[in-house]
Amino acid sequence: MEQAFNWAEKKICVTGGAGFLGTHLINDLRQRGAQHIFVPTIEKYNLVEGDAIKQLLKDSDPDVIIHLAAHVGGIGANREHPAEFFYDNLMMGVQLLHEAYLYGVEKFVAIGTVCAYPKFTPVPFSEDDLWIGYPEETNAPYGLAKKMLLVQSQAYRDQYGYNSIFLLPVNLYGPGDNFDPRSSHVIPALIRKCVEAKENGDDHIVVWGDGSPTREFIYVTDAARGIALATERFNKSIPVNIGSGFEISIKDLVEKIAKMTGFEGDLVWDTTKPNGQPRRALDTSRAKNEFGFEAHTDFDEGLQNTVNWYLQHRK
């Protein structure tokens, strides 16, 4: 019989643990009884470099690695830095998984991205459709670099019997998100835009695209719980979506954010800018069936929490 997973006994290394998702994941792991959590910082361990990875393994001596670290951004950042996003994410992931296997780390949890899905995946996105086409062009280099972790995970399980898993979280949002306009994703970018426009007395804001694409978002504490449950209960190399099952158009999203921030000006759509993937919504049944995960947070409630957090912390 398989032994129960004991968080208190495990030494866990969380790459990217100081980031947005990482801080929420570490809170979740501590609530589950985890006592030995190692969080590498980029200043000490540049995980793009092989030597830094070997040093990290020596210093943390982990039983489990949860690989959250990624070089990421929104559509604009992906368009400006496709080569960096490809190289940095590929080198981090491929070397870290390989060295973890060599070192004897019991389990490797790879965090992929919804950007790995083909541009025209049937909605809701099923994990079985990951290979039916090429990803949306604006973030394909990033998406494909992360997707190689799935290929590697399956190959290492086939050849070496290595226990690694691959999770595909949809876009995250929540308190503590990145609100830097140069690198933020759509929700924090729009919250900041609306708040600043209201303060400046602007009569409109400009939004990229035409508002027609749809997106699914998962509240960060739900995503953290999904990753923790998979780490604890799931031991197969098939990919698994981590999502909320809630789809919203960008137009409806902007209108919600304008209302919550009190911005009453016009929304001007810049259709010279890319829409990105036409629709994005996940089939979340595999996560429920395999390790009992479902998202709990109502979208309006989560969005209001995020707006409130930004208003309190922005100074």
Residue 266 CA: distances (Å) to CA of 206, 214, 215, 245, 269: 9, 21, 22, 30, 10
Nearest by Cα to 216 from 282, 287, 260: 282
- CA 68 – CA 14 distance, rounded (Å): 7
Residue from 103, 117, 134, 142 carrying the catalytic annotation = 142
What would the two tokens of residue 152 be?
């590697």
* Cα distance from N-terminal residue to C-terminal residue, the chain: 54
Beta-sheet pairing, 107-111 with 64-67:
parallel
The phi, psi pair for 173, rounded to 5°, reads: -155, 165
Q: Which residues contact 193 (CB under 8 A, 6 or more apart)?
A: 181, 205, 207
How many other C-beta atoms lie within 10 A of the C-beta of residue 91?
A: 17
Encoded tokens for 103:
């070192």
* DSSP strand pairing (240-242 vs 164-169): parallel
Q: Which helix (H) or strand (E) holds 169?
A: strand 164-169
Q: Do 25 and 66 meet the contact criterion of CB atoms below 8 Å apart?
A: yes
Helix (H, G, I), strand (E, B) or coil at 268: strand
Exposed, middle or buried: residue 104 (CB in 10 Å: 0-12, 13-18, 19+)?
exposed
Q: Name the token pair of 211.
A: 């508002």
Q: Is 142 a catalytic residue?
A: yes
* β-sheet bridge partners, residue 168: 241
Residues that are catalytic: 142
